[in-house]
Structure 1
Amino acid sequence: MKSLLVTGGAGFIGANFVQYWLNHYPYHKLVVLDALTYAGNLANLEAVKDHPNLTFVHGNILNTELVKELMQHHQTDTVVHFAAESHVDRSITGPDAFLETNIMGTHSLLKAAKQIWLDSGVDDHRFHHVSTDEVYGTLAENDPPFTEATAYAPNSPYAASKASSDHLVRAYQETYGLKTTISNCSNNYGSYHFPEKLIPLVITNILADKALPIYGDGKQVRDWLYVEDHARGIELVLSKGKIGENYNIGGHNEWHNIDIVKLICQLMNEAFATEPELAQRFPDALSVAKGSAESLITFVKDRPGHDRRYAIDAAKSRCELGYEPAESFETGIRKTLQWYLNNEEWWRSVMDGSYQGWVSQQYHA
């Protein structure tokens, strides 16, 4: 039986990975370690809370002794490291937490893995580190997409902290022989996405008839990846990836931010037009109920150091791993929109902090 330690497994991407893994590998043991900061929430794991092979531990990756204890007790052979501070705006106003969690937290995990695996002669192991395309910096309009050979050039404290953590993982591979892989993904979207990020923010603000803030001219370009496609990509890295290698996981799907917002407005207008009960369920959604969600679009001052364009070249993952996104943006964004319309209780509870978790009844740190 495989035994995975998943850090940050109650966050957006981590929770989707946990659900994906348990659905596909129900006999594997999963230990989720999460500090349950603002973006980590047990509501994200509600659907799998009764799974017999899931253990949740409320704890911090900076606690190296706790990590070592969990790895020993559960005979962990695989670490999948999602835990990170990840919101660029927050990193600009408060960078310290990003350096502490993303750099020192990753080092804490690497130290624990070295001691539990290498110092004990455990050869069958894998440390997989989940990173971001933001470590590569920014692209001009006609530049080719980022490849795994692109030089790192981070432009925000968040991106710099993730670049540093990538280098630490590589150093433990090169210096100590820890068996590592790294994946750098493009912007994820999908279910359980914390509502401060662009796509869920637009959806929930439309439902509250609030302004849809767009930085600068809205022409920033991002490659969008449906979160379950990201989970499949990590699965392929774990099963087929070469030790010591980096793999880009992208959606082959570049969009201007303003066009994303306009598309969501259009889809929301259509949804309210075809489902009259939505206007009753969301009485505050006055603009979209009139078919004019786009009237809420508001341009605001651009943030400092705002990267203009990200684009992932996932050719290496396609050729070596057989990776291809299963969802087009059209199918993925419709699934995402429907999920938020169907899960109002989830996003309201995580936004106001009112969710009362199941951990107090079932699992304890």
Structure 2
Amino acid sequence: MILGAALSGAISDRIGRRAVILYTLLIYSIGSFLCGLATDYWTLLLFRFITGFGLGGELPAASTLVSEISPIKSRGRNVIILESFWAWGWIAASMVAFLVIPAFGWRMAFFVGALPALFAALLRFKVPESPRYLEVNGKREEAERIVEELERSAGVESVKDDTPSKGIEKRPWYEEFKMLWKRENLRSTAVLWVIWFGINFGYYGFVLWTPSLLTDQGFDIVKSFGFTVIMCIAQLPGYFSAAYLVERWGRKPTLIVYFFGTAAAAWFFGHADSEMTILLAGCLLYFFALGAWGCVYSYTPEVYPTDVRGSGTGWASAFGRIGAFIAPFIVPILYSSFGTEYGFVLVFAVLSAAFAMVAIVIAIFGRETKGMSLRDTSE
């Protein structure tokens, strides 16, 4: 996912957002299908790498496209609603695990995972390219045609834009990466990399290890299908409330509240001592964490100009995946080093601190983007 996010972001600034979404969706689906054909551990690992590459590349490209094509007043909300389908995917995956695998085996689950390839055809013919991307890359006529179609479908009178085209020359990918660290983008890049690293570290730290840790603590509830479904459902109001608040409060206040909320929920979870408190803390944790995720995806494309928006979003996502890679190794070390009782508390104290630190960074260095027009170039 690290490689997919980094490469797809840079490529989307060169060939377009829609094309990258289409290709990464196909890569993901092909990888999932091949997983169902794997004959041993190493081939499965290879095919899972392909699947992860596609998924890692699709996520930042999709949020960038939706951000660029949405009206200012609903831009943040639209991206978060898009990201809420992650929760619906969790629920669908839970149903596949519960219904399909026992009846047809694990291979069939991977074949079902290949079905998103069918959406590629719909994407190809129904989803337009970002007019803003086309405009910046000198494709004025195509951009105007798409805008006119969108205005016509919305019942809005089309207004001819006679301003000069702002087409720019293509830059090598390393020049685009350097642009992220120039003065006008430096602060945004640094803040976003902290946000993405922190949320990935904290989120995957508890998602991947919580079932094992709770089972070791004697709470078998985490093995039940009902527990999984409840945790999945708890994500949805987190997304929807965040989608409402980013357009009412703004991006920065909403991010701060949801990251501090996640930190508090993680601390509470670390001190849960019964199945009821585990359920309550777990629901709060998923509510705030996924609300924060949605806000991060909506906020990231807004702070960059169009000419490096894909690269900036992709590199931030890629750097964040390093946190997702590190956390699963740190959690068991913390847990085993301080004993079963204190280790459990310590794990969630560390995860809580990670979320809280992100909130503090946003409060001090973050910029508000609500109601602001997207910039086109870095110059």
Return the TM-score normalized by structure 1.
Answer: 0.27
- Could you say which structure has the higher helix fraction? 2
RCO greater where, 1 or 2, for CA within 8 Å and sep 6 or more?
A: 2
- Could you say which structure has the higher strand fraction? 1
